[in-house]
Amino acid sequence: MFIVFKIMFLGCAIGRRGIIYTASSLWPCPKYYLKHYRIFTIAMILLLSTAIAAQAATVRAVVDRNQVMVGESLSLQVAIEGGDGDVDLSGLTDFKTVSRGSTSSFQMVNGRTSRKMIYNYTLIPLKAGELTVPAIPVTIDGKIHYTTPIRVRVSEEPPVANGQRDVYVSAAVSESSPWIGQQIVFTFQLFNAVQVAEAKFQPPEFDGFQAEELEDRKSYRTVVNGREFIVTEVRFILIPVKTGTLTVEPATLQVGLVQRRRRPRPFSGMDSFFGRTEMTTRVLQTDPVTVTVRDLPPKPPGTVFSGLVGRFEISAALDKTDLQVGDSTTLAVTVSGSGNIMDAAPPAIATPTDFKSYTDNPEESIRKEADGYAGSKTFRTALVPVEAGDYHFDPITLTYFDVDRGEYRTLNAAVFDVHVSPSATAATDIDVFRGTPTRAPSLKKRVEFTGRDILPLKTELDALQTGRRMSLPWFSLLLALPILGFAATGVVLRMTRKDESPGRVMAGRARQALKEASTHAAADSDFLSSLYRALVSAILSRIGVMGSSLTWSEARSRLIDLGWDEDSADAAARLLEKIESFNYSGGNLDADKRADLLDQTRQVVRRLAA
Amino acid sequence: MKRWITTIVGLLFLFSLATGALASEKARTLMAGIDAYRQGNWPAAIEAFEYLAKDGIDSGPLCYNLGNAYLKNDDLGHAMLWYERALKRIPDDPDLRFNYDYALTLTKDEQGEQTSPLLRILFFWKYRLNPETIRWIALGLNAVLWISLAVLAIRKKRLLRPSIVLIAAATLLFSATAVFNYFEAARIRHAVILPAQVSVRSGFTDSATQLFVLHAGTKVRVERQSEDYLLIQYTEDKIGWVKRSDAGII
């Protein structure tokens, strides 16, 4: 006996005027029953949760059939009873898997509850043979459960005439041996005699071609072997970009076939009434298509190939042939036809040197038609004469490769004769800049590759020399070297810097002055000045101050401060006074006197220097 | 004593003969490879150049030659790998740039990891100059900086000070970039997909989920390496494992 509960609002009570309503019992009950009702509800919840917890989870995988043909699909269901989990299909390497969603249900069977999750997949076999759906791991609450492996026999599709199949695909190109640059059309066709849905089309890679899909997909009905099919066409314009034998890989279409149920079900007679059908997924592939691309023959000498391949025409029109100097006329050159019209470059116009030309942007009108690109490209040039006269325009030529004839073809546009009369306006008023007469009109254009290849090998023996790259330690060392040099310079500077303290400077002066005094040639005044300077400098050097004069009393007190006894200080001070008095009295000094003074001064200086 | 000198001179002579012989053998192998290439025997050219590379010759021109030979042999993955290796060694070589650009047009996948245009503008010197040039500029500026500082210390010219600040800033900038380049070269590894098509998976096994597919010649960043697999990053949101044999580390 099945009793299915939908658990909702259990134990939820609503009170109103002493009468109690519960969600599971909408009948009003007296208040005194409420206590018993709550106990019952709690007991039910505990019972249910215990039952759910006690039930161990199981997993199961089933397929709808074990025998399929290549391209057919089968359904796989992974059922998890007693919980939910993660299904890992990474082991199904022999099949392409498509998820079809999941369903869940909650059941109570004879007082036992269970939850069931079902995950649905469509499996498409990737090859024929005895394939196995391996044990699928399902992780439930951190524990891995495995399904039982299933064997599936996949047989090759028997060769059946296209008209006898329900659905099939084909692919073809409009020209199997085109010239390089010639546009061809690749047509993919889906023939279906039954209803199809959820079609997913994967076009080929088209290696070696420039490919563009024609936007409008055609659909029509046709009869094959007496059976009516709906044909859906997808077309691509292909332009081969390299020569040789090129293969267009198979195009793939994954499609769902809408069919009536295969297995009889109870009340199956009602299927047609209720529209009960099932969908099987199939993968259809076209055969590879081989295209042999021919290289263009060498162009005839003296011709300038425009790069156009196809069928083209050229026309030219000049809006005025009778002009005045300074008037403008427009030359329109139109290239039209089918092929790589978008690559058409401005044609060379041999403008007379007395004309100034101004080119306009080309006007394009290119359509994608059933057999490829077609349309026209118009190049307009404004021409302004700067000199009166009669001029002749040479024909404008276009050399293209005619794919029908298999040869280069040169077309000529119209020839013009233009009469230019003098302008009513003074020539100086015409605002036209005349180009250098000897220079040909500029026909510069962007240089494009006409062929692609790589540059040659490096044949020098340098290739055998391992390149030395600076390592990080070396870089750091080289970075640190100037810093070390800077530091070393600082050290050297400090070591070689002269001591320029006042004491040392004054001592130097004392020595210098004594040296000057020792010179025999010195005059008396110079001699005495030198002695005075020597004594004062020597005293001040000991004190460590700069200066140039001292009175005898200052000299005495400074010497006593330096630790000299009073007699010695007196003697030195008197010597200083004596030198000063000789200097200011201006009397002559004999040699003995000079020697005596020099000797005394030297002794004082030496004592102070000691 | 005389006997010792004679022995040492004799040994040196023999050593020079041996190295000369080795060098000429390598030169012969290189020439054989070049001849094979010219005759259209690409596998033989690859074999000769790879022999030299395995023998320890690590030069930009050799990597370039290998790239050419692989490209001619229709092995785009290996060609891109060797061109990338050559770019590390001779980044400014015009022939290499031309062939590399041509090979890039043959790859099927869009370029994955790309530097932000803002970064390319802000740190233009890093992207415009090759690492070797940046290193030498840093060293030159550093030398000029410290010489200027020494002159300033000796001559005490105040006029020098603004220039020294500018030189110091430039030195810092280029030295930091050079160090970053070292870091980038040591820590950030790139690889190139070698086979025509590779499934990038979520795990180490062939049965792991295929996350996305990459094609020959696509450059990816190597995030981690295990014994047999590499964890690669194609773009910020595309990361997965490939076999070591399916990707060549640059």
Q: Do B57 and A464 touch (CB under 8 A)?
A: yes
SS3 state of residue A593: helix
From first CA to last CA, the distance across chain A in angstroms is 131
> Would you tell me the crossing angle of helices B131-155 and A472-496 to the nearest 10 degrees?
10
User: At CB < 8 Å, which residues of chain A contact B?
Assistant: 90-91, 93, 452-467, 469-470, 472, 475, 478-479, 481-483, 485-486, 489-490, 493
DSSP string, A412-464: E---EEEEEEPPSS-GGG---PPPPTTSPPP-------SS--------SGGGG
Which residues lie across from A240 on neighbouring strands? Answer: A209
SS3 state of residue B90: coil
Q: Do B68 and A454 touch (CB under 8 A)?
A: yes
Tell me which residue has tokens 């005895």: A130
Tell me which residue has tokens 């010695």: A568
Average pLDDT of every residue of chain B: 86
% chain B with pLDDT above 70? 89
From first CA to last CA, the distance across chain B in angstroms is 53
What local confidence, expressed as pLDDT, does residue B26 receive?
84
Q: How many residues does chain A have?
A: 610
What local confidence, expressed as pLDDT, does residue B25 receive?
83
- For chain A, counts of helices (H) and of strands (E): 8, 32
For residues B67 and B82, give the distance between their C-alpha atoms in angstroms, rounded to a whole number.
5
Q: Do A458 and B65 touch (CB under 8 A)?
A: yes
Instruction: For B35-57, give one letter per residue: b (16+ CB within 10 A) or e.
Output: ebbeeebbebbbebbbebbeeeb
**Chain B environment of A464 (Cβ under 8 Å):** 23, 26-27, 30, 52, 57, 59, 62
What local confidence, expressed as pLDDT, does residue A322 receive?
86
DSSP string, A8-37: -STT-EEEETTEEEESS--S-B-GGGHHHH
Between positions 212 and 241 of B, the ones with CB within 8 A of A are none
**Closest Cα in chain B, distance from residue A353 (Å):** 40
Q: What residues in chain A have per-residue pLDDT under 50?
A: 1-34, 47-48, 50-54, 266-274, 426-429, 432-436
What local confidence, expressed as pLDDT, does residue B10 receive?
64
Q: Which residue of A has its CA nearest to B27?
A: A461
What local confidence, expressed as pLDDT, does residue A242 receive?
86
SS3 state of residue A159: coil
Please name the residue ranges forming H helices in chain B.
Answer: 2-38, 42-54, 60-72, 76-89, 94-106, 117-122, 124-128, 131-155, 160-187
A-interface mutation test, from B30, B41, B177, B215, most A Cβ less than 10 A away: B30
Question: How many A-B residue pairs are in contact by the CB < 8 A criterion?
Answer: 101
Name the CA radius of gyration of chain A, rounded: 56
For residues B180 and B125, give the distance between their C-alpha atoms in angstroms, rounded to a whole number.
13
What local confidence, expressed as pLDDT, does residue A267 receive?
46
- Whether residue A39 contacts residue A29, with contact meaning beta carbons closer than 8 Å, is answered with no
pLDDT band at residue B179 using 50, 70 and 90 as cut-offs: very high
B147 at interface of A, judged by CB pairs closer than 8 A:
yes
| DSSP letter, residue A250 | P
What local confidence, expressed as pLDDT, does residue A50 receive?
46
- Whether residue A190 contacts residue A232, with contact meaning beta carbons closer than 8 Å, is answered with yes
This prediction has a pTM of 0.41
The average pLDDT across B218-245 equals 89
Q: How many CB atoms lie within 10 A of CB A286?
A: 21
Classify strands A372-385 and A363-369 as parallel, antiparallel or unpaired: antiparallel
**Closest Cα in chain B, distance from residue A456 (Å):** 8
- Whether residue A174 contacts residue A371, with contact meaning beta carbons closer than 8 Å, is answered with yes
Task: Report which residue type is found at A319.
Answer: D
For residues A188 and A197, give the distance between their C-alpha atoms in angstroms, rounded to a whole number.
18
For residues A546 and A154, give the distance between their C-alpha atoms in angstroms, rounded to a whole number.
116
What local confidence, expressed as pLDDT, does residue B190 receive?
92
- Whether residue A319 contacts residue A329, with contact meaning beta carbons closer than 8 Å, is answered with yes
- Whether residue A459 contacts residue B22, with contact meaning beta carbons closer than 8 Å, is answered with no
Q: Where is pLDDT greater, at A65 or B175?
A: B175
Residue A514: exposure state from Cβ atoms within 10 A (0-12, 13-18, ≥19): buried
B153 at interface of A, judged by CB pairs closer than 8 A:
yes
Please give the helix or strand (H or E) that residue A322 lies within, else none. strand A322-324
Q: Do B34 and A459 touch (CB under 8 A)?
A: yes
- Picking from B59, B69, B145, the nearest residue to A463 by CB comes out as B59
B166 at interface of A, judged by CB pairs closer than 8 A:
no
For residues B31 and B18, give the distance between their C-alpha atoms in angstroms, rounded to a whole number.
20
| DSSP letter, residue B244 | G
pLDDT band at residue B140 using 50, 70 and 90 as cut-offs: very high
A130-187 per-position pLDDT tens digit: 888 999 998 887 788 899 899 888 887 665 655 567 888 899 998 889 998 899 999 9
- Picking from B95, B154, B202, the nearest residue to A455 by CB comes out as B95
Q: Do B153 and A493 touch (CB under 8 A)?
A: yes
Tell me: pLDDT of B49 over 50: yes
Q: Which residue of A has its CA nearest to B144?
A: A482
- Picking from A454, A470, A478, the nearest residue to B71 by CB comes out as A454
Q: Which residue of A has its CA nearest to B36?
A: A457
What local confidence, expressed as pLDDT, does residue A56 receive?
64
- Picking from B68, B103, B179, the nearest residue to A457 by CB comes out as B68
Tell me which residue has tokens 């026909």: A443
What local confidence, expressed as pLDDT, does residue B205 receive?
80
Contacts for B81 with CB less than 8 Å, ≥ 6 apart? B67, B70, B192, B194, B248, B250
B-interface mutation test, from A202, A207, A452, A457, most B Cβ less than 10 A away: A457
- Picking from A464, A481, A493, the nearest residue to B27 by CB comes out as A464
For residues A131 and A149, give the distance between their C-alpha atoms in angstroms, rounded to a whole number.
10
- Picking from A453, A472, A481, the nearest residue to B182 by CB comes out as A472
Query: Cα separations (Å) of A474 from A346, A477, A481, B28?
Result: 59, 5, 10, 34
Tell me: pLDDT of B141 over 90: yes
φ and ψ at A7, to 5 degrees? -75, 120
